[in-house]
Structure 1
Amino acid sequence: MKAYRAYRAHARAAALSALAYRGSFLLALGGTAFQLIALLAVWRVLLGNGDGARIGGFDWPHMRSYLLVAFATGALVGGFVDFRMSHRIRSGLVSLDLVKPVDYQRARLWECIGGVWIEALAIVVVAGLAVLFSGPPQLPAAPEFGLFALSMVALVPLKFVVSYLTTLACFWTENFVGLLWSRQALTGLLSGALVPLAFFPGWLATAAQWSPFAGLTSTPALIFVGQATGRHALLLVAVQLGWLALLWLAARALFGRALRRLTVHGG
Protein backbone atom coordinates (compact mmCIF):
# COMPACT_ATOMS: atom_id res chain seq x y z
CA MET A 1 0.00 0.00 0.00
CA LYS A 2 2.85 2.38 0.82
CA ALA A 3 4.45 1.66 -2.55
CA TYR A 4 1.13 2.32 -4.29
CA ARG A 5 0.88 5.71 -2.55
CA ALA A 6 4.42 6.48 -3.69
CA TYR A 7 3.54 5.68 -7.31
CA ARG A 8 0.40 7.83 -7.06
CA ALA A 9 2.60 10.66 -5.80
CA HIS A 10 4.72 10.31 -8.95
CA ALA A 11 1.59 10.46 -11.09
CA ARG A 12 0.32 13.54 -9.26
CA ALA A 13 3.68 15.31 -9.57
CA ALA A 14 3.78 14.57 -13.31
CA ALA A 15 0.26 15.96 -13.76
CA LEU A 16 1.19 19.15 -11.90
CA SER A 17 4.32 19.52 -14.02
CA ALA A 18 2.29 19.10 -17.21
CA LEU A 19 -0.08 21.83 -16.02
CA ALA A 20 2.84 24.06 -15.06
CA TYR A 21 4.33 23.70 -18.55
CA ARG A 22 0.98 23.88 -20.30
CA GLY A 23 2.42 26.05 -23.06
CA SER A 24 4.68 23.24 -24.23
CA PHE A 25 1.86 20.74 -23.80
CA LEU A 26 -0.58 22.81 -25.87
CA LEU A 27 2.05 23.42 -28.54
CA ALA A 28 2.68 19.68 -28.92
CA LEU A 29 -1.06 18.97 -28.95
CA GLY A 30 -1.58 21.72 -31.50
CA GLY A 31 0.92 20.07 -33.83
CA THR A 32 -0.96 16.77 -33.62
CA ALA A 33 -4.30 18.54 -34.11
CA PHE A 34 -2.96 20.36 -37.18
CA GLN A 35 -1.87 17.01 -38.63
CA LEU A 36 -5.42 15.71 -38.07
CA ILE A 37 -6.95 18.70 -39.87
CA ALA A 38 -4.50 18.43 -42.76
CA LEU A 39 -5.05 14.69 -43.22
CA LEU A 40 -8.84 15.09 -43.03
CA ALA A 41 -8.66 17.72 -45.77
CA VAL A 42 -6.40 15.62 -48.00
CA TRP A 43 -8.39 12.39 -47.66
CA ARG A 44 -11.70 14.18 -48.13
CA VAL A 45 -10.45 15.36 -51.52
CA LEU A 46 -9.09 11.93 -52.45
CA LEU A 47 -12.15 9.97 -51.35
CA GLY A 48 -14.87 12.53 -52.00
CA ASN A 49 -17.59 13.29 -49.51
CA GLY A 50 -19.34 9.95 -49.23
CA ASP A 51 -19.76 9.38 -52.98
CA GLY A 52 -18.55 5.77 -52.75
CA ALA A 53 -14.90 6.25 -53.75
CA ARG A 54 -12.58 3.73 -52.05
CA ILE A 55 -8.80 3.49 -51.77
CA GLY A 56 -7.17 0.48 -50.15
CA GLY A 57 -10.53 -0.66 -48.75
CA PHE A 58 -11.27 2.73 -47.14
CA ASP A 59 -14.08 5.08 -48.10
CA TRP A 60 -14.46 8.57 -46.66
CA PRO A 61 -16.51 7.65 -43.54
CA HIS A 62 -14.07 4.87 -42.63
CA MET A 63 -11.00 7.03 -43.26
CA ARG A 64 -12.48 9.88 -41.21
CA SER A 65 -12.99 7.52 -38.25
CA TYR A 66 -9.51 6.04 -38.73
CA LEU A 67 -7.91 9.50 -38.63
CA LEU A 68 -9.78 10.43 -35.45
CA VAL A 69 -8.43 7.32 -33.70
CA ALA A 70 -4.95 8.02 -35.10
CA PHE A 71 -5.13 11.53 -33.63
CA ALA A 72 -6.15 10.16 -30.23
CA THR A 73 -3.34 7.59 -30.18
CA GLY A 74 -0.82 10.22 -31.25
CA ALA A 75 -1.89 12.69 -28.57
CA LEU A 76 -1.76 10.15 -25.73
CA VAL A 77 1.56 9.74 -23.89
CA GLY A 78 3.36 12.86 -25.08
CA GLY A 79 7.06 13.59 -24.87
CA PHE A 80 7.10 15.16 -21.40
CA VAL A 81 8.22 11.96 -19.64
CA ASP A 82 10.85 11.35 -22.33
CA PHE A 83 12.52 14.72 -21.92
CA ARG A 84 12.38 14.64 -18.12
CA MET A 85 13.87 11.16 -17.96
CA SER A 86 16.57 11.89 -20.55
CA HIS A 87 17.58 15.08 -18.73
CA ARG A 88 17.93 13.28 -15.42
CA ILE A 89 20.02 10.51 -16.99
CA ARG A 90 22.35 12.87 -18.82
CA SER A 91 22.75 15.18 -15.82
CA GLY A 92 23.29 12.37 -13.30
CA LEU A 93 20.15 13.24 -11.33
CA VAL A 94 18.94 9.73 -12.07
CA SER A 95 21.07 8.65 -9.10
CA LEU A 96 18.52 10.35 -6.83
CA ASP A 97 15.72 8.36 -8.48
CA LEU A 98 17.59 5.10 -7.92
CA VAL A 99 17.81 5.53 -4.15
CA LYS A 100 14.06 6.02 -3.77
CA PRO A 101 12.15 2.98 -2.41
CA VAL A 102 10.20 2.46 -5.63
CA ASP A 103 10.81 0.50 -8.81
CA TYR A 104 12.39 2.85 -11.37
CA GLN A 105 10.51 1.55 -14.39
CA ARG A 106 7.13 1.49 -12.66
CA ALA A 107 7.68 4.99 -11.29
CA ARG A 108 8.26 6.30 -14.82
CA LEU A 109 5.10 4.51 -15.98
CA TRP A 110 3.07 6.20 -13.25
CA GLU A 111 4.53 9.56 -14.27
CA CYS A 112 3.29 8.79 -17.77
CA ILE A 113 -0.16 7.85 -16.44
CA GLY A 114 -0.30 11.08 -14.46
CA GLY A 115 -0.49 13.13 -17.64
CA VAL A 116 -2.86 10.84 -19.55
CA TRP A 117 -6.06 12.30 -18.07
CA ILE A 118 -5.03 15.79 -19.20
CA GLU A 119 -4.26 14.49 -22.69
CA ALA A 120 -7.58 12.61 -22.74
CA LEU A 121 -9.52 15.80 -21.95
CA ALA A 122 -7.71 17.65 -24.73
CA ILE A 123 -8.42 14.78 -27.15
CA VAL A 124 -12.14 14.93 -26.35
CA VAL A 125 -12.22 18.67 -27.07
CA VAL A 126 -10.29 18.51 -30.36
CA ALA A 127 -12.05 15.34 -31.58
CA GLY A 128 -15.41 16.90 -30.66
CA LEU A 129 -14.64 19.92 -32.82
CA ALA A 130 -13.53 17.66 -35.67
CA VAL A 131 -16.76 15.64 -35.42
CA LEU A 132 -18.77 18.86 -35.35
CA PHE A 133 -17.39 19.92 -38.72
CA SER A 134 -16.89 16.54 -40.44
CA GLY A 135 -19.74 14.49 -39.00
CA PRO A 136 -19.95 11.76 -36.32
CA PRO A 137 -18.12 8.45 -36.82
CA GLN A 138 -19.96 5.16 -36.98
CA LEU A 139 -19.33 3.21 -33.77
CA PRO A 140 -18.45 -0.51 -33.93
CA ALA A 141 -20.69 -3.23 -32.50
CA ALA A 142 -20.52 -3.90 -28.75
CA PRO A 143 -17.97 -6.79 -28.82
CA GLU A 144 -15.60 -4.88 -31.10
CA PHE A 145 -16.11 -1.67 -29.12
CA GLY A 146 -15.01 -3.53 -25.99
CA LEU A 147 -11.88 -4.76 -27.78
CA PHE A 148 -11.27 -1.23 -29.05
CA ALA A 149 -11.47 0.12 -25.49
CA LEU A 150 -9.09 -2.60 -24.27
CA SER A 151 -6.69 -1.79 -27.08
CA MET A 152 -6.73 1.92 -26.21
CA VAL A 153 -6.01 1.12 -22.55
CA ALA A 154 -3.13 -1.21 -23.53
CA LEU A 155 -1.83 1.51 -25.84
CA VAL A 156 -0.73 3.67 -22.89
CA PRO A 157 1.78 1.26 -21.30
CA LEU A 158 2.85 0.00 -24.74
CA LYS A 159 3.62 3.51 -25.97
CA PHE A 160 5.36 4.22 -22.68
CA VAL A 161 7.64 1.19 -22.88
CA VAL A 162 8.62 2.01 -26.48
CA SER A 163 9.54 5.53 -25.34
CA TYR A 164 11.25 4.19 -22.22
CA LEU A 165 13.45 1.82 -24.23
CA THR A 166 14.49 4.69 -26.50
CA THR A 167 15.29 6.99 -23.59
CA LEU A 168 17.43 4.35 -21.88
CA ALA A 169 19.83 4.83 -24.78
CA CYS A 170 20.84 8.10 -23.08
CA PHE A 171 23.05 5.97 -20.85
CA TRP A 172 25.17 5.37 -23.97
CA THR A 173 24.72 8.63 -25.89
CA GLU A 174 24.17 12.32 -25.20
CA ASN A 175 22.10 12.96 -28.34
CA PHE A 176 18.55 12.32 -27.18
CA VAL A 177 16.89 14.64 -29.73
CA GLY A 178 18.25 12.55 -32.58
CA LEU A 179 16.96 9.39 -30.91
CA LEU A 180 13.56 11.00 -30.40
CA TRP A 181 13.26 12.07 -34.03
CA SER A 182 14.32 8.64 -35.24
CA ARG A 183 11.76 6.92 -33.01
CA GLN A 184 8.98 9.30 -34.05
CA ALA A 185 9.73 8.74 -37.74
CA LEU A 186 9.81 4.96 -37.32
CA THR A 187 6.68 4.68 -35.18
CA GLY A 188 4.78 7.24 -37.26
CA LEU A 189 5.33 5.14 -40.38
CA LEU A 190 5.08 1.56 -39.07
CA SER A 191 2.21 2.20 -36.64
CA GLY A 192 -0.14 3.34 -39.40
CA ALA A 193 -0.44 6.84 -37.92
CA LEU A 194 0.36 8.55 -41.23
CA VAL A 195 -1.38 6.14 -43.61
CA PRO A 196 -3.13 2.80 -42.96
CA LEU A 197 -0.84 -0.20 -43.18
CA ALA A 198 -3.07 -1.60 -45.95
CA PHE A 199 -1.51 0.99 -48.28
CA PHE A 200 1.97 -0.48 -47.81
CA PRO A 201 3.52 -3.11 -50.11
CA GLY A 202 2.36 -6.60 -49.10
CA TRP A 203 5.54 -7.71 -47.32
CA LEU A 204 5.92 -4.41 -45.44
CA ALA A 205 2.25 -4.31 -44.44
CA THR A 206 2.49 -7.83 -43.02
CA ALA A 207 5.72 -7.11 -41.14
CA ALA A 208 4.35 -3.85 -39.72
CA GLN A 209 1.03 -5.42 -38.70
CA TRP A 210 2.76 -8.02 -36.53
CA SER A 211 5.33 -5.59 -35.13
CA PRO A 212 4.90 -3.81 -31.78
CA PHE A 213 4.30 -0.53 -33.62
CA ALA A 214 0.92 -1.62 -35.01
CA GLY A 215 -0.48 -1.60 -31.48
CA LEU A 216 0.27 2.12 -31.26
CA THR A 217 -2.34 3.10 -33.87
CA SER A 218 -3.33 0.48 -36.44
CA THR A 219 -4.83 -2.09 -34.06
CA PRO A 220 -7.32 0.20 -32.26
CA ALA A 221 -8.07 2.10 -35.46
CA LEU A 222 -8.86 -1.01 -37.55
CA ILE A 223 -11.12 -2.36 -34.80
CA PHE A 224 -12.93 0.97 -34.50
CA VAL A 225 -13.64 1.30 -38.23
CA GLY A 226 -14.77 -2.32 -38.52
CA GLN A 227 -11.92 -3.64 -40.66
CA ALA A 228 -10.91 -6.03 -37.87
CA THR A 229 -13.77 -7.96 -36.30
CA GLY A 230 -14.32 -11.17 -34.35
CA ARG A 231 -11.30 -13.44 -34.10
CA HIS A 232 -9.17 -11.11 -36.20
CA ALA A 233 -9.74 -8.24 -33.77
CA LEU A 234 -9.11 -10.53 -30.80
CA LEU A 235 -5.87 -11.73 -32.38
CA LEU A 236 -4.65 -8.17 -32.98
CA VAL A 237 -5.30 -7.22 -29.35
CA ALA A 238 -3.56 -10.41 -28.17
CA VAL A 239 -0.51 -9.48 -30.27
CA GLN A 240 -0.59 -5.98 -28.79
CA LEU A 241 -0.65 -7.35 -25.24
CA GLY A 242 2.03 -9.90 -26.07
CA TRP A 243 4.39 -7.21 -27.32
CA LEU A 244 3.65 -5.15 -24.21
CA ALA A 245 4.73 -8.01 -21.93
CA LEU A 246 7.80 -8.80 -24.05
CA LEU A 247 9.01 -5.19 -24.28
CA TRP A 248 8.39 -4.61 -20.58
CA LEU A 249 10.72 -7.51 -19.74
CA ALA A 250 13.23 -6.36 -22.36
CA ALA A 251 13.24 -2.89 -20.79
CA ARG A 252 14.05 -4.39 -17.39
CA ALA A 253 16.97 -6.33 -18.86
CA LEU A 254 18.28 -3.25 -20.71
CA PHE A 255 17.99 -1.12 -17.56
CA GLY A 256 20.22 -3.58 -15.71
CA ARG A 257 22.89 -3.19 -18.40
CA ALA A 258 22.42 0.58 -18.45
CA LEU A 259 23.19 0.90 -14.75
CA ARG A 260 26.68 -0.43 -15.45
CA ARG A 261 27.24 2.66 -17.58
CA LEU A 262 26.22 5.09 -14.84
CA THR A 263 28.96 7.22 -13.36
CA VAL A 264 28.06 10.09 -11.04
CA HIS A 265 30.63 12.58 -9.75
CA GLY A 266 29.82 14.69 -6.75
CA GLY A 267 31.18 16.07 -3.55
Structure 2
Amino acid sequence: MRAAYRAHARATALSALAYRASFLLSLGGVAFQLVALLAVWRVLLGGGSGGPIGGFDWPHMRSYLLVAFASGALVGTFVDFRMSHRIRSGLVALDLVKPVDYQRARLWETIGGVWIEVAVIAVVVAVSVAFSGPPDLPAGPELALFVSSMVLLVPLKFIMVYLSTLACFWTENFVGVMWARQAITGLLSGALVPLAYFPGWLATAAQWSPFAGLTSTPALIFVGHASGRHALLLVAAQLGWLLLLWFGARALFGRALRQLTVHGG
Protein backbone atom coordinates (compact mmCIF):
# COMPACT_ATOMS: atom_id res chain seq x y z
CA MET A 1 0.00 0.00 0.00
CA ARG A 2 2.83 2.40 0.82
CA ALA A 3 4.28 1.74 -2.63
CA ALA A 4 1.05 3.04 -4.16
CA TYR A 5 1.33 6.34 -2.28
CA ARG A 6 5.02 6.65 -3.18
CA ALA A 7 4.01 6.19 -6.82
CA HIS A 8 1.72 9.24 -6.48
CA ALA A 9 4.64 11.22 -5.05
CA ARG A 10 6.94 10.19 -7.91
CA ALA A 11 4.30 11.10 -10.49
CA THR A 12 4.06 14.64 -9.12
CA ALA A 13 7.85 15.03 -9.04
CA LEU A 14 8.13 13.85 -12.64
CA SER A 15 5.30 16.19 -13.66
CA ALA A 16 7.08 19.15 -12.06
CA LEU A 17 10.29 18.23 -13.88
CA ALA A 18 8.47 17.70 -17.18
CA TYR A 19 6.75 21.08 -16.93
CA ARG A 20 9.67 22.79 -15.23
CA ALA A 21 9.11 26.11 -16.99
CA SER A 22 5.63 26.50 -15.50
CA PHE A 23 6.88 25.16 -12.17
CA LEU A 24 9.77 27.62 -11.99
CA LEU A 25 7.57 30.51 -13.11
CA SER A 26 5.14 29.82 -10.26
CA LEU A 27 8.02 29.81 -7.76
CA GLY A 28 9.48 32.85 -9.48
CA GLY A 29 6.35 34.79 -8.59
CA VAL A 30 6.93 34.03 -4.91
CA ALA A 31 10.60 35.00 -5.24
CA PHE A 32 9.62 38.30 -6.88
CA GLN A 33 7.27 38.97 -3.97
CA LEU A 34 10.20 38.40 -1.61
CA VAL A 35 12.37 40.93 -3.46
CA ALA A 36 9.56 43.49 -3.51
CA LEU A 37 8.78 43.10 0.20
CA LEU A 38 12.47 43.29 1.12
CA ALA A 39 12.78 46.56 -0.81
CA VAL A 40 9.66 48.05 0.79
CA TRP A 41 10.50 47.07 4.36
CA ARG A 42 14.12 48.13 4.01
CA VAL A 43 12.90 51.65 3.21
CA LEU A 44 10.28 51.63 5.97
CA LEU A 45 12.74 50.42 8.61
CA GLY A 46 15.64 52.55 7.43
CA GLY A 47 17.85 49.64 6.44
CA GLY A 48 19.09 49.22 9.99
CA SER A 49 19.64 52.92 10.69
CA GLY A 50 16.10 53.51 11.99
CA GLY A 51 14.42 52.21 15.11
CA PRO A 52 12.15 49.16 15.25
CA ILE A 53 8.51 49.46 14.21
CA GLY A 54 6.03 47.16 15.90
CA GLY A 55 8.90 45.22 17.47
CA PHE A 56 10.66 44.58 14.13
CA ASP A 57 13.95 46.14 13.11
CA TRP A 58 15.48 45.55 9.68
CA PRO A 59 17.54 42.38 10.52
CA HIS A 60 14.48 40.77 12.14
CA MET A 61 12.22 41.75 9.26
CA ARG A 62 14.67 40.37 6.70
CA SER A 63 14.73 37.03 8.53
CA TYR A 64 10.93 37.09 8.84
CA LEU A 65 10.52 37.66 5.10
CA LEU A 66 12.93 34.84 4.23
CA VAL A 67 10.80 32.43 6.28
CA ALA A 68 7.66 33.87 4.69
CA PHE A 69 9.17 33.20 1.26
CA ALA A 70 10.01 29.61 2.20
CA SER A 71 6.52 28.97 3.56
CA GLY A 72 4.95 30.52 0.46
CA ALA A 73 7.07 28.42 -1.90
CA LEU A 74 6.21 25.14 -0.18
CA VAL A 75 3.17 23.23 -1.45
CA GLY A 76 3.05 25.38 -4.57
CA THR A 77 2.88 22.63 -7.19
CA PHE A 78 -0.10 21.91 -9.37
CA VAL A 79 -1.94 19.48 -7.10
CA ASP A 80 -4.94 21.78 -6.69
CA PHE A 81 -5.28 22.43 -10.44
CA ARG A 82 -4.97 18.73 -11.23
CA MET A 83 -7.47 17.81 -8.55
CA SER A 84 -9.96 20.50 -9.60
CA HIS A 85 -9.73 19.46 -13.25
CA ARG A 86 -10.42 15.84 -12.44
CA ILE A 87 -13.40 16.75 -10.25
CA ARG A 88 -14.97 19.06 -12.82
CA SER A 89 -14.36 16.67 -15.72
CA GLY A 90 -15.60 13.60 -13.85
CA LEU A 91 -12.22 11.85 -14.03
CA VAL A 92 -12.27 11.78 -10.23
CA ALA A 93 -14.43 8.67 -10.60
CA LEU A 94 -11.30 6.83 -11.73
CA ASP A 95 -9.46 8.02 -8.62
CA LEU A 96 -12.24 6.76 -6.38
CA VAL A 97 -12.05 3.17 -7.64
CA LYS A 98 -8.31 2.93 -6.93
CA PRO A 99 -7.36 0.92 -3.80
CA VAL A 100 -5.93 3.99 -2.03
CA ASP A 101 -7.38 6.61 0.28
CA TYR A 102 -8.28 9.67 -1.83
CA GLN A 103 -7.16 12.27 0.71
CA ARG A 104 -3.88 10.54 1.57
CA ALA A 105 -3.11 10.06 -2.13
CA ARG A 106 -3.47 13.80 -2.72
CA LEU A 107 -1.17 14.45 0.27
CA TRP A 108 1.50 12.19 -1.19
CA GLU A 109 1.17 13.96 -4.53
CA THR A 110 1.91 17.19 -2.67
CA ILE A 111 4.89 15.67 -0.85
CA GLY A 112 6.28 14.54 -4.20
CA GLY A 113 6.91 18.14 -5.23
CA VAL A 114 8.23 19.39 -1.88
CA TRP A 115 11.82 18.27 -2.37
CA ILE A 116 12.05 20.31 -5.60
CA GLU A 117 10.57 23.33 -3.84
CA VAL A 118 13.07 22.93 -0.99
CA ALA A 119 15.91 22.95 -3.52
CA VAL A 120 14.64 26.20 -5.07
CA ILE A 121 14.19 27.74 -1.60
CA ALA A 122 17.77 26.80 -0.72
CA VAL A 123 19.10 28.54 -3.86
CA VAL A 124 17.12 31.75 -3.21
CA VAL A 125 18.12 31.85 0.47
CA ALA A 126 21.77 31.21 -0.48
CA VAL A 127 21.70 34.17 -2.88
CA SER A 128 20.13 36.37 -0.20
CA VAL A 129 22.77 35.31 2.34
CA ALA A 130 25.55 35.98 -0.19
CA PHE A 131 24.35 39.57 -0.67
CA SER A 132 23.12 40.43 2.83
CA GLY A 133 24.87 38.03 5.19
CA PRO A 134 23.42 35.12 7.19
CA PRO A 135 20.47 35.70 9.52
CA ASP A 136 20.77 34.99 13.23
CA LEU A 137 19.62 31.48 14.05
CA PRO A 138 17.42 30.83 17.11
CA ALA A 139 18.76 28.96 20.13
CA GLY A 140 18.64 25.15 20.33
CA PRO A 141 15.10 24.57 21.69
CA GLU A 142 13.58 27.31 19.52
CA LEU A 143 15.47 26.00 16.47
CA ALA A 144 13.91 22.57 17.06
CA LEU A 145 10.47 24.16 17.36
CA PHE A 146 11.07 26.15 14.18
CA VAL A 147 11.98 23.00 12.24
CA SER A 148 8.92 21.22 13.69
CA SER A 149 6.72 24.14 12.66
CA MET A 150 8.08 24.10 9.10
CA VAL A 151 7.46 20.34 8.87
CA LEU A 152 3.88 20.76 10.12
CA LEU A 153 3.39 23.58 7.62
CA VAL A 154 3.43 21.14 4.67
CA PRO A 155 0.40 19.00 5.65
CA LEU A 156 -1.39 22.02 7.12
CA LYS A 157 -1.06 24.00 3.90
CA PHE A 158 -2.04 20.93 1.90
CA ILE A 159 -5.24 20.38 3.86
CA MET A 160 -6.28 24.02 3.35
CA VAL A 161 -5.66 23.71 -0.38
CA TYR A 162 -7.49 20.37 -0.40
CA LEU A 163 -10.50 21.78 1.44
CA SER A 164 -10.81 24.72 -0.94
CA THR A 165 -10.48 22.43 -3.97
CA LEU A 166 -13.35 20.27 -2.72
CA ALA A 167 -15.53 23.29 -3.55
CA CYS A 168 -15.31 22.09 -7.18
CA PHE A 169 -17.94 19.51 -6.31
CA TRP A 170 -20.38 22.42 -5.89
CA THR A 171 -19.03 25.02 -8.33
CA GLU A 172 -17.83 24.89 -11.93
CA ASN A 173 -15.20 27.63 -11.50
CA PHE A 174 -12.15 26.89 -9.37
CA VAL A 175 -10.13 30.01 -10.20
CA GLY A 176 -12.33 32.29 -8.08
CA VAL A 177 -12.09 29.89 -5.14
CA MET A 178 -8.30 29.76 -5.50
CA TRP A 179 -7.99 33.55 -5.60
CA ALA A 180 -10.17 33.89 -2.51
CA ARG A 181 -8.07 31.29 -0.67
CA GLN A 182 -4.81 33.00 -1.63
CA ALA A 183 -6.11 36.43 -0.57
CA ILE A 184 -7.33 35.19 2.81
CA THR A 185 -4.27 33.09 3.61
CA GLY A 186 -1.85 35.76 2.36
CA LEU A 187 -3.35 38.30 4.74
CA LEU A 188 -4.23 36.27 7.84
CA SER A 189 -1.09 34.11 7.76
CA GLY A 190 1.17 37.16 8.10
CA ALA A 191 2.87 36.46 4.75
CA LEU A 192 2.40 40.04 3.51
CA VAL A 193 2.39 41.96 6.80
CA PRO A 194 3.38 40.55 10.22
CA LEU A 195 0.36 40.04 12.45
CA ALA A 196 1.90 42.42 15.00
CA TYR A 197 0.84 45.30 12.73
CA PHE A 198 -2.83 44.25 12.81
CA PRO A 199 -5.34 45.82 15.21
CA GLY A 200 -5.16 44.09 18.59
CA TRP A 201 -8.30 41.97 18.31
CA LEU A 202 -7.54 40.91 14.73
CA ALA A 203 -3.91 40.11 15.53
CA THR A 204 -4.99 37.84 18.39
CA ALA A 205 -7.67 36.12 16.33
CA ALA A 206 -5.32 35.59 13.37
CA GLN A 207 -2.46 34.37 15.57
CA TRP A 208 -4.56 31.50 16.93
CA SER A 209 -6.28 30.75 13.62
CA PRO A 210 -5.11 27.93 11.31
CA PHE A 211 -3.70 30.54 8.90
CA ALA A 212 -0.95 31.65 11.31
CA GLY A 213 0.64 28.22 11.03
CA LEU A 214 1.34 28.90 7.35
CA THR A 215 3.80 31.75 7.98
CA SER A 216 3.54 33.64 11.25
CA THR A 217 4.26 30.77 13.65
CA PRO A 218 7.54 29.55 12.11
CA ALA A 219 8.63 33.11 11.29
CA LEU A 220 8.06 34.45 14.82
CA ILE A 221 9.95 31.52 16.30
CA PHE A 222 12.83 32.01 13.87
CA VAL A 223 13.28 35.73 14.61
CA GLY A 224 12.93 35.21 18.37
CA HIS A 225 9.57 36.94 18.84
CA ALA A 226 8.11 33.68 20.15
CA SER A 227 10.15 31.52 22.50
CA GLY A 228 9.75 29.06 25.34
CA ARG A 229 6.18 28.31 26.35
CA HIS A 230 4.73 30.78 23.85
CA ALA A 231 6.51 29.09 20.93
CA LEU A 232 5.44 25.67 22.17
CA LEU A 233 1.81 26.80 22.36
CA LEU A 234 1.94 28.17 18.81
CA VAL A 235 3.30 24.87 17.46
CA ALA A 236 0.71 22.95 19.48
CA ALA A 237 -2.03 25.13 17.94
CA GLN A 238 -0.56 24.41 14.51
CA LEU A 239 -0.76 20.65 15.19
CA GLY A 240 -4.26 20.94 16.66
CA TRP A 241 -5.59 22.77 13.59
CA LEU A 242 -3.95 20.19 11.32
CA LEU A 243 -5.75 17.32 13.06
CA LEU A 244 -9.07 19.18 13.18
CA LEU A 245 -8.96 20.15 9.51
CA TRP A 246 -7.73 16.71 8.43
CA PHE A 247 -10.71 14.90 9.93
CA GLY A 248 -13.04 17.76 8.98
CA ALA A 249 -11.93 17.31 5.36
CA ARG A 250 -12.85 13.63 5.56
CA ALA A 251 -16.36 14.52 6.69
CA LEU A 252 -16.70 17.16 3.95
CA PHE A 253 -15.48 14.71 1.30
CA GLY A 254 -18.29 12.32 2.21
CA ARG A 255 -20.83 15.10 1.58
CA ALA A 256 -19.04 16.20 -1.59
CA LEU A 257 -19.38 12.75 -3.16
CA ARG A 258 -23.16 13.16 -3.06
CA GLN A 259 -22.74 15.98 -5.58
CA LEU A 260 -20.75 13.85 -8.03
CA THR A 261 -22.45 13.14 -11.33
CA VAL A 262 -20.52 11.44 -14.13
CA HIS A 263 -22.02 11.29 -17.64
CA GLY A 264 -20.91 9.02 -20.41
CA GLY A 265 -19.65 5.46 -20.60
* Equivalent residue for 1:132, pick from 130, 133, 150: 130
- Out of 198, 201, 204, the residue aligned to residue 203 of structure 1 is 201
Aligned to 2:48, what secondary structure does the other structure show? Answer: coil
Correspondences of 1:126-205 after superposition (within 5 Å): 126-205=124-203
CA distance in 1 between partners of 2:2 and 2:188 (Å) = 35
Q: CA deviation at 1:132?
A: 1.4
- Pick the aligned partner of 2:54 from 50, 53, 56: 56
1:48 Cα deviation from its structure 2 partner: 1.8
1:262 aligns with 2:254: no
Q: Residue type matched to 1:12 in 2?
A: R
Aligned to 1:229: 227
CA distance, structure 2, for counterparts of residue 146 and residue 52 of structure 1: 31
Q: Do the aligned partners of 2:77 and 2:113 also contact (CA within 8 Å) in 1?
A: no
CA offset digits 1:66-88 (Å, max 9, x no partner)? 00000000000014000000000
How many pairs align? Answer: 265
| Aligned-pair CA distance for 1:162 | 0.2
1:135, distance to aligned residue in structure 2 (A): 1.9
Q: Check conservation: 2:145, 2:232, Cα contact below 8 A.
A: yes
CA-atom RMSD in angstroms: 0.7
1:101 to 99, 102, 122: 99
Corresponding residue SS for 2:259: coil
**Matched-pair identity in %:** 82
Q: How does 1:13-92 map to 2 (within 5 A)?
A: 13-92=11-90
For 1:24 and 1:201, locate their aligned partners in 2 and report how far apart those are by CA, in whole Å: 38
Whole-angstrom distance in 2 between the partners of 1:224 and 1:134: 17
Q: Which runs of 5+ in 2 are unaligned?
A: none
Deviations 1:83-106 (A, max 9, x none): 000000000000000000000000
Deviation of residue 265 (structure 1)?
1.3
More divergent stretch after superposition (51-60 vs 171-180): 51-60
Distance in 2 of aligned mates of 1:183 and 1:21:
24
TM-superposed CA distance for 1:50, in Å, is: 2.1
> Distance in 1 between the 2:175 and 2:112 partners?
23
Q: 1:52: Cα distance to partner?
A: 4.8
State how far apart, in whole Å, the 1-side matches of 2:248 and 2:132 are. 42
Runs of 4+ in structure 1 displaced over 3 angstroms? none
Counterparts of 1:122 and 1:88 in 2: how far apart (Å)?
28
Deviation at 1:133, TM superposition (A): 1.4
TM-score, normalised via structure 1 length: 0.98
2:253 and 2:173 map into 1 onto residues whose CA distance is 18
Deviation at 1:153, TM superposition (A): 0.2
Which amino acid in 2 is paired with 1:69?
Answer: V
Paired with 1:200 and 1:133, the residues of 2 have a C-alpha distance of 31
Say whether the 8 Å CA contact 2:146–2:218 is kept in structure 1.
Answer: yes
**Letter in structure 2 aligned against 1:122:** V
Tell me the TM-score normalized by structure 2: 0.99
- C-alpha distance after superposition, 1:192-244 (max 9, x if no partner): 00010000000100110010000000000000000000000000000000000
